[in-house]
Chain A
Amino acid sequence: MSLTHLNARGEAHMVDVGDKAETQREAVASGRIVMRPETLALLAEGGLPKGDVLATARIAGIQAAKRTHELIPLCHALLLSKVSVDFRLDEAASCVHVESRCRLAGRTGVEMEALTAVSVACLTLYDMCKAVDKGMMIEGVRLEHKTGGKSGEWHRASEDVSTTRDVSEPPSVDSVAIRVKFLAELRERLDIEEVKVPVASLKSPDIASLKAALEAQDPRFAALSTARILCAVNHAMAHEDTSLSVGDEVAFFPPVTGG
């Protein structure tokens, strides 16, 4: 097996596809953008400041697929016969699933086009929603399957079972770690939503040691030790000496302002 975009001298080159037979090609790629439940609700209601998010992201994905060759250096310009971009809102996982299908009769595959469509659709969703949620994460961009061409058919399931788990399942908590969340103004100030900290890395398994470990990792976490920042462990208010164990969820947040 060799990399076809490298020639005998290891230099990048565009593969000559003139001699390849034209076959019907199709590729499906998928990805997701994870956001806060409130953001997803706004998206579903059409309540976001930039307007119809999904329609815009769909057009962006389709346009991007057509211009893949301008973005990816050694990719051929293709005359796609079909590009579709579909979205599925997933409340349980608080994300939008994006799927793109690209098709053509030609000499080269359309995986890059499908992946580009998904990536740009996700980026557009981020752009359209970032006014209300900067912590969104684009995840799991990947090829699902492709048909046609020399390498024939490929399906993710047969290749890599471990990555085909249903993305709507809640992610399993790391077996040795504590999940630490940062909420509201604190999340925006630190520009971080969640970290995982191995229990074994703490001097003693409690909140004070967790703060010390985080601060040692990044001085910005000194903010956690200011008087006004509150802390909860497993959804209950906690203090410096609240003890921690594997699988716990810790949250740091500013004083509450509901009602």
Chain B
Amino acid sequence: MIDVRVQSPVFDVGEEQRQLLAGRHDIGAVVTFTGLVRDFNERPDVQALSLEHYPGMTEAALHDIAAQATTRWPLDGIRIVHRVGRLSPSDPIVLVMVASAHRRAAFDACDFLMDYLKTRAPFWKKEHTASEAYWVSARDSDARDAARWEEA
């Protein structure tokens, strides 16, 4: 049901979806989010990104976020793959894939998972330009996005 991985190799979106759906005939919708490395962010000339995480806690945090999604929506499967190490612009960095009987639950759960992943999972990005390397700052907009899901 919940499959969470942290890895340095690239992932294959098609293969992940095949595995998620293998042997299932009750799933009506799969929503996939793929995050990519941009060449402009805090500086306009990002050449590479290195991603650090906190092994042990990362997997636990991703699993916990996925478990929360299953209590909010009727879901049939969740797959989260996050890459670490050194990445280049256009490389895929994160995959969140959600399967459900109907699309609305899958769309909303995928949106929720990304908002929570960005604000709760212990990953840190460092951007490298031709002349320097700096740690990326957390964005207030990400915190606001995550706050949308807080129950009243």
Contact surface of A with B, Cβ cutoff 8 Å = 36-38, 41-42, 45, 47, 131-132, 181, 183-185, 188, 228, 232, 235-237, 251, 253-259
Contact = CB atoms under 8 A, between A and B. Distances in A.
A132 B86 contact: yes
B53 interface: yes
Contacts of A257: 118, 123-125, 135-138
13 contacts: A41-B84, A47-B85, A131-B133, A183-B122, A184-B126, A253-B54, A253-B124, A256-B121, A256-B122, A258-B82, A258-B121, A259-B35, A259-B118
A259 B117 contact: yes
A132 B138 contact: no
Nearest to B133: A131
Interface centre among B54, B124, B136 (most CB of A within 10 A): B124
A259 B65 CA distance: 13
Given A42-B86, A254-B138, A258-B94, A37 B123 contact: no
Contacts of A37: 55, 84
A228 B135 CA distance: 14
The 5 closest A-B pairs by CB, nearest first: A258-B123, A255-B138, A184-B124, A235-B57, A259-B118
Given A251-B54, A257-B136, A183 B114 contact: no
A256 B146 CA distance: 13
A196 B99 CA distance: 44
Interface centre among B55, B82, B122 (most CB of A within 10 A): B122
B65 to A, nearest CB: 11
Interface in B56-101: 56-57, 60-61, 82, 84-86, 93-94
Nearest to B136: A257
A63 to B, nearest CB: 29
B124 A254 contact: yes
Majority SS at the chain B contact face: mixed
Given A183-B54, A235-B60, A256-B122, 13 more contacts: A38-B51, A38-B52, A131-B133, A181-B54, A184-B126, A235-B61, A236-B60, A251-B54, A255-B137, A256-B121, A257-B118, A258-B82, A258-B124
A254 B54 contact: no
Interface centre among A41, A181, A256 (most CB of B within 10 A): A256
Nearest to B84: A38
Nearest to B88: A47
A181 B52 CA distance: 14
Contacts of A41: 8, 84-85
A258 B53 contact: yes
B129 interface: no
A151 B112 CA distance: 69
Contacts of A188: 135
B17 interface: no
A73 B54 CA distance: 44
Contact of B123 (A131, A132, A232, A259): A259
B35 to A, nearest CB: 6
Interface centre among A42, A45, A258 (most CB of B within 10 A): A258
Interface string B100-124: 0000000000000010011111111
Nearest to A255: B138
Contacts of B52: 36, 38, 183-184
A38 B123 contact: no
B57 A258 contact: no
A253 B125 CA distance: 13
Nearest to B123: A258
A166 to B, nearest CB: 20
Contact of A232 (B50, B55, B122, B137): B122
B85 A184 contact: no
Nearest to A188: B135
Contact of B85 (A42, A183, A254): A42
